[in-house]
Structure 1
Amino acid sequence: MLTNLRKKLGTIAAAVALATSATLSPSVASAAESTTWRVQSHWPGASTSYQDSLVRLKDVLEERSDGRLKLQLFEAGALFSAQETFNAVSRGIVDMGTISPSYAQNKISLAGIASGLPFAFRNVWEAAYFHQALGFEEMLRAEAAEHNVYWATDKVYPTEMVLKRPVNSMEDFKGLKIRSSGSLQTFLTDAGAAASYIPGSELYSALDAGIVDGAHWGASQGADSMALYEVAKHHVKPALNIAGTDVFIVSQRSLDKLPEDLQQIVKQALEEQFWFRTNEYQYQERVTLANAIANKGVQVNTLPEEVQNHLTQAAMKQWDKEGERSDNTKKALSMLKEFLGELGYL
């Protein structure tokens, strides 16, 4: 009887082992399988955003997918130029990229508004609300989808000037020589300042020598990283613009190839990234500026109301030009003006 019982137990054990093996094998195989996406960044490897935004997302995706989705990162220019990255992602040559919206203006009509209309938002939360609650992000995503691209703004943040002397009147503003670039250079020139482009490598010496009176290089983190506070002690508020200047773009083909659960992990991680990085960047800005005030003799120069009103009027002319690009830009600009009107800015 004991022998028969042992035989039965042996048979049951073998059956359990076989069933367990059959049950576990697919999950083991599934866990062993992984997909690696190539990601072309527009940030150099030394950039704080490369580490804080891109490397962060890489770590989040690998952790939440249990290693089933990995990102192979390439810093700025490693595979393509920043201006070529959107097309490379659109065609599926690379799976993901980071860009500034301005690099996709020939494809995305809303890119100019996304890059930041001058003197629109005065607080970061307003730009975040416009993107996420009023539907601007959905409009951007819909345009990008026409090019087989999934669009996700990384964060919204300010661009602010530093000056060697404060602005206390319109006369002070119109006498400024400012290092600028892109649409902000046009805006500042139209508003009456003398704006010109100077490469970053020459910016400190140009400020130090008095070739320019001020500049913008991001906001407080940018100014501090470029040592501009050594020669320009006045940090200007409000921001020249606040915008979603950094964007993740994902090949829709690559996204569609992933299992459904991984697709959801990617989309959820990107959604969370916007809020995490927007708030983290705002915190980092405040800490950097507070340190500059406490230890480097920097003072905050809030522009007088007459100067702010003048800049708003000059900016609105540029807004209207941007609104003429498409039906979408016309709609977005109407949304923006209504929102700013509700806030009491227009």
Structure 2
Amino acid sequence: MKRKSVALIVLAILLGMFIMAGQSHAQQVKWKGQSCFPLNNPLGKLTIALWKEYVEKMSGGRLAIQLHDAGEVVPPTKIYDAVKDGLLDFGLNTPAWQKGKYPAGDLYYTLPGGVLEFNDLIIWLYGGGGKELAQEMYKDELIVLPLGLTPPEEVWSKKPIKTLADIKGMKLRAAGLSMELWEKLGASVVLLPGGEVIPALQRGLIDGAEFLEASADYTLGLHEVCKYRFGPPVHMSNNIFQLMIKTKSWKELPADLKVIVESAAMAATFDGYTKWWIQTIEFDKKIRDYGIVTTKLSPKDQARTRELTMQILDEKSKQDPFFAKVWKSQREFIQRYKPYYDLTKFD
């Protein structure tokens, strides 16, 4: 009788543990975060907003995402600090905002002058150790995942730019390594959030801007204040943005939800990229129909931007050991990757 009673008690305990485990498994986790870009712009809509949608669908609502628009909680440039300090569970960030603290963040774009192009960047990032180096850069301060990829970009100006010589003396909005490149070409540069670019152009504080690609640039209104644009971009031709996650929030997340967060980030990045390209094509036509004068740099000028970029990379590698480490990883990857890539591509 005693054995039967003990068995029933054990069974009741096990059943209770099973029920509690099931309830714990189904318990909803709530995360609060913010985009560094407006959610009505492709920058926010086709990156972090898409990620939110995928996470909630893939988790069946177990991970609820409260996503704030740019500037609602903190300024766009303060996402890193807000996530690191625990004010937000997550945020969409661009490495450009931490240029002073983490110079190697500039290497997480396609590099100016075509030194690191789209295929190179993506394969290195996901398969060649780039993602792991990004996490090493931020250490335990926060978790960082790639999220959001832009189509190739363009440069806007209030005056015609037909050659690199035309850039001398201009004041430009820039970001990343291109800030140093523009300076080597004789321009003065300033880093501004997207919302400040148009007012700065209207007030004559800057003469031109590199921002993004046709759809984001049109949505921002660059075609209304600049008469000219040119390509290929002197700066990076593609952007990779970052999903930053508070370390404590990440550690508390069940293993299956961690996989969902990571998978949703990759899915949103590539799905958003294809959607973005379609928009870029449509908005490029709108820009041309609007009457914007579009020009392209000569092969000689393009080669010059590549030459100057290599100089900048060497200079910055001497200044920052981790920058040197990331650039070494990229350079060695390109050396391994290029022979077969060049063999299989059409000239």
Partner of 1:80: 74
Specify the code of the residue in structure 1 equivalent to 2:271: F
Partner of 2:264: 269
Pick closer, same or farther for the CA change 1:176–1:336 going to 2, 3 Å. Answer: farther
Q: Are the counterparts in 2 of residues 35 and 68 from structure 1 also a CA contact under 8 Å?
A: yes
Equivalent residues in 2 for 1:275-290, closer than 5 Å: 275-290=270-285
Which of these residues, 63, 85, 107, is aligned with residue 57 of structure 2? 63
Gaps of 5+ in 2: 1-14, 343-347
Percent sequence identity is: 18
Distance 2:85 2:157 in 1: 44
Specify the code of the residue in structure 2 equivalent to 1:262: L
Partner of 1:155: 148
Pick closer, same or farther for the CA change 1:138–1:311 going to 2, 3 Å. Answer: same
Q: Are the counterparts in 1 of residues 35 and 69 from structure 2 also a CA contact under 8 Å?
A: yes
Q: Are the counterparts in 1 of residues 164 and 185 from structure 2 also a CA contact under 8 Å?
A: no
Note the C-alpha offset of 1:200.
Answer: 1.8
TM-score (normalizing by structure 2): 0.76
Q: Are the counterparts in 2 of residues 162 and 235 from structure 1 also a CA contact under 8 Å?
A: yes
Partner of 1:331: 325
Matched, 1:134 2:128: yes
Note the C-alpha offset of 1:102.
Answer: 2.6
Partner of 1:8: none
Matched, 1:51 2:45: yes
Distance 1:320 1:116 in 2: 16
Note the C-alpha offset of 1:298.
Answer: 3.9
SS at match of 2:295: strand
Specify the code of the residue in structure 2 equivalent to 1:37: W
Partner of 2:230: 236
Q: Are the counterparts in 2 of residues 120 and 340 from structure 1 also a CA contact under 8 Å?
A: no
Distance 2:284 2:74 in 1: 35
Specify the code of the residue in structure 2 equivalent to 1:267: E
Please list the CA deviations of residues 206-263 of structure 1 after superposition, one character each: whole Å capped at 9, or x if unmatched: 68xxx86643232212331233334645432212213445210112321221222112
Equivalent residues in 2 for 1:20-39, closer than 5 Å: 29=23, 33-39=27-33
Q: Are the counterparts in 1 of residues 146 and 242 from structure 2 also a CA contact under 8 Å?
A: yes
Partner of 2:8: none
Please list the CA deviations of residues 82-136 of structure 1 after superposition, one character each: whole Å capped at 9, or x if unmatched: 4443233234442211111133346545213225643245753333233223221
* Greater mean deviation of Cα atoms: 296-305 or 57-66: 296-305
Note the C-alpha offset of 1:278.
Answer: 2.9
Matched, 1:180 2:177: no
Partner of 1:248: 243
Partner of 2:209: 215
Specify the code of the residue in structure 2 equivalent to 1:258: L
Q: Are the counterparts in 2 of residues 155 and 246 from structure 1 also a CA contact under 8 Å?
A: yes
* Greater mean deviation of Cα atoms: 26-35 or 108-117: 26-35
Specify the code of the residue in structure 1 equivalent to 2:290: K
Distance 2:75 2:302 in 1: 37
Note the C-alpha offset of 1:326.
Answer: 4.0
* Greater mean deviation of Cα atoms: 185-194 or 147-156: 185-194
Specify the code of the residue in structure 2 equivalent to 1:308: Q
Q: Are the counterparts in 2 of residues 156 and 242 from structure 1 also a CA contact under 8 Å?
A: no
Partner of 2:304: 310
Please list the CA deviations of residues 253-306 of structure 1 after superposition, one character each: whole Å capped at 9, or x if unmatched: 21221222112111211222222223333332233213323x223454221011
TM-score (normalizing by structure 1): 0.76
Q: Are the counterparts in 2 of residues 237 and 303 from structure 1 also a CA contact under 8 Å?
A: yes
SS at match of 1:139: helix
- What is the aligned-residue RMSD (CA, Å)? 3.5
Note the C-alpha offset of 1:75.
Answer: 2.4
Distance 1:163 1:201 in 2: 12
Q: Are the counterparts in 1 of residues 155 and 211 from structure 2 also a CA contact under 8 Å?
A: yes
Pick closer, same or farther for the CA change 1:335–1:27 going to 2, 3 Å. Answer: closer
Gaps of 5+ in 1: 1-20
Specify the code of the residue in structure 2 equivalent to 1:229: H
